[in-house]
Amino acid sequence: MNNNVWLEVKSSNNIAAAVQDAVFPEIGLPHKTEQSDDDFILIGYFTSFEDRFSRVNLLDEVKKWGFKRVTNSNSLFLLFFFDKRKQRLRVAVDQFLSFSCYFSIFENKVVFSSAFGPIKNELGKTQALRIDTDFLLSHLLWEWPNNDHTLIGQIKMIPGGCQASFDLKDLRLESIQTLMDIDAFYDSIRPRNYASLEQFSADWLSLLTEVVERRASQIPKSFKIGCDISSGFDCTLVSYCLSKILPHGDFSGFSNHSKIMGDENSPEVVKRFSLKHNIPLKQFDYTDHTLHLNNLDQNWLVDQAVNPFIYVHHKQYINFLNENGVRILFTGEYGDEAYDMKNMELFSRFPVQRGFFDSIVTLKRRKKEDFFTKNSQGLFSDQQRFKERGYYPLIVPSKSASCYLPVVEAYGSQGINRIHPFSDTRILALSHEAPLPIGVEPDRTKELIMPDFKTIMPENYISISNAGEPFLQMFINQKFFVKEVLSKSVLGSMGIIDPGLITGYINDPKSDLYNDKTYQRAMQLYPIIYLDWYLQRNNIG
């Protein structure tokens, strides 16, 4: 079972056939929808958490207003709108980027997929796969713009809050344009003038509970609901909200932990929290997996969108959830970003410039004995590659939304849909009104309100101590495999890394790869090795 969408349009004359043959699985939330009349067909997924929008009248809404209004609302969707008379297609993705929508035009057809692997494999049957340099460089610096680029040049994606228009007569892309109205969002924020953080915290919990309830109430009864629970704050607060609105037994808490990661997720704290709030709990120990003792060439994920954290922190957990029949998983992801909204307004309006400066800052923070060549340093900071990007602003931080997309796909490949309550414009607007003391940065909002939730979570807020150690374990237990990857390095042939320098670094027991207790070097180098392997295994060059 998987949640992957697949749609092929071979010509303007086969729109009805394309829709009939399309794959749109039932995913629980948002809801599957298909509406049509003599002139139009609308198909995809749509759920709104605003009363002004309804699936029943969705076709009329799109015919009259296009996707503009639903995009600037609290709605989750991926929608395909066919104009049969004009032989055009418009495809839109919500502003929270809750769906991936990849597309490619080849072999006299335009193909859409919500997962990277299937469209990559289909394209690879007919032509050589070419690297998209902008995406590659961004990925290596862990910069995640809201962009239409993917790792493969012939495959594009629809950015969050955007619409892509296609001419089906000629099977060509006409445009990709943003539908976001950033000014309208910030103009709509109502000043609250809180007298204290305690008042803000009370409203925060009340609103989050309402947001969770709006989502939970629209999930079909046949879909088993789970929720991440940790010894941290965000997902645990979401699970508390669920426990207050759903009858006992209507959802279960799930938690994973690794012994080599210290107190990153304390099993005992999680257990006591679940007992306190009468939440059924299932826990999973994935210590063995984090040691990297498996054959990585066979176990790394060759058909997922490239992201090493999926393998390290999610693969075994996904299998565990799947074995327990979970179809909907509530999570606290995007929580950190939601608390930091006061810092986001400027960045929302200037995403391209933000990407450039993020890259420069990242390069400057890296140590002098870097893994990248001097030649590649110029490529990373080349202003031209940023100028060539489209303007696709988001209210939510694009770095977080785009970075999590491969994770969403990985869960979806096993039929699990993740629900992110913190991705809600009401939550984001309220965060903007947090009454912070003078001189306190917004990224400390969560830290400051935590004491107000002690009655709910008396033992939580456990700090992450060894979250990077699994990345180091690969270099300890998989030296031969890593050297094999480096010996055939695609990134080396492009002049981006120096494989010999990295090999020497790995061979040196005194290098900071092994002696830096923050594991920063291991976390920098692991994605490089993973990406190089991914390029080799998929013949992308």
Which residues are 267's β-sheet partners?
Answer: none
Q: Residue 296 in 3-state DSSP?
A: helix
Q: What pLDDT is stored for residue 11 in this prediction?
A: 76
Q: What is the pLDDT of residues 156-200, one digit of tens each?
A: 999 999 999 999 999 999 999 999 999 999 999 999 999 999 999
Beta sheet of 417-419, edge-to-edge order: 281-285, 251-257, 225-228, 328-330, 417-419
Residue 1 to residue 440: CA distance in whole angstroms? 47
Alpha helices by DSSP H, 228-350: 234-245, 267-276, 287-290, 296-299, 308-309, 315-323, 335-339, 344-349
pLDDT more than 70, % of the chain: 98
Residue 81 to residue 79: CA distance in whole angstroms? 6
Q: Compute the half-sphere exposure of residue 306: CA atoms within 13 Å on the CB side of its CA.
A: 26
Residue 142 to residue 363: CA distance in whole angstroms? 11
CA 534, chain centre distance (Å): 19
Tell me the one-letter amino acid at 236: T
Nearest to 143 by CA among 529, 336, 403: 403
The model's confidence at residue 84, banded by pLDDT at 50, 70 and 90, is very high
Q: Which of 55-64, 234-243, 380-389 shows the lowest per-residue confidence on average (mean pLDDT)? A: 380-389
The answer to whether the CB of 244 falls within 8 A of the CB of 209 is yes
DSSP assignment string, 217-241: TTS-TTSPEEEE--SSSHHHHHHHH
Q: Where are the domains of the chain?
A: 6-180, 184-338+397-453, 468-541
Q: What is the mean pLDDT of residues 465-482?
A: 90
Q: Which of 146-155, 457-466, 522-531, 532-541 shows the lowest per-residue confidence on average (mean pLDDT)? A: 457-466
Q: What is the pLDDT of residues 94-129, one digit of tens each?
A: 999 999 999 999 999 999 999 999 999 999 999 999
CATH topology of domain 6-180: Glutamine Phosphoribosylpyrophosphate, subunit 1, domain 1 (3.60.20)
Residue 330 to residue 242: CA distance in whole angstroms? 9
Residue 167 to residue 90: CA distance in whole angstroms? 9
- Mean pLDDT over the full length of the chain: 93
Q: Compute the half-sphere exposure of residue 86: CA atoms within 13 Å on the CB side of its CA.
A: 11
What is the reported pTM?
0.95
Residue 385 to residue 134: CA distance in whole angstroms? 7
Residue 446 to residue 233: CA distance in whole angstroms? 9
Q: What pLDDT is stored for residue 80 in this prediction?
A: 99
User: What b-and-e string marks burial along 142-162, b requiring 16 or more CB atoms within 10 Å of the CB?
Assistant: ebbbbbbbbbbbbbbbbbbbb
Residue 316 to residue 399: CA distance in whole angstroms? 25
Q: What pLDDT is stored for residue 464 in this prediction?
A: 61
Q: What pLDDT is stored for residue 463 in this prediction?
A: 63
CATH topology of domain 184-338+397-453: Rossmann fold (3.40.50)
Nearest to 456 by CA among 249, 225, 208, 261: 208
pLDDT above 60 for 368: no
Which residues are 254's β-sheet partners?
Answer: 228, 282
Q: What is the mean pLDDT of residues 7-11?
A: 91
pLDDT above 70 for 262: no
Q: What is the pLDDT of residues 377-415, one digit of tens each?
A: 889 888 999 999 999 999 987 877 888 899 999 999 999
The model's confidence at residue 473, banded by pLDDT at 50, 70 and 90, is very high
Paired tokens of 130: 């070419």
Residue 32 to residue 311: CA distance in whole angstroms? 29
Which residue did the predictor score with more confidence, 491 or 443? 491
The model's confidence at residue 374, banded by pLDDT at 50, 70 and 90, is confident
Q: What pLDDT is stored for residue 359 in this prediction?
A: 83
Q: What pLDDT is stored for residue 378 in this prediction?
A: 86
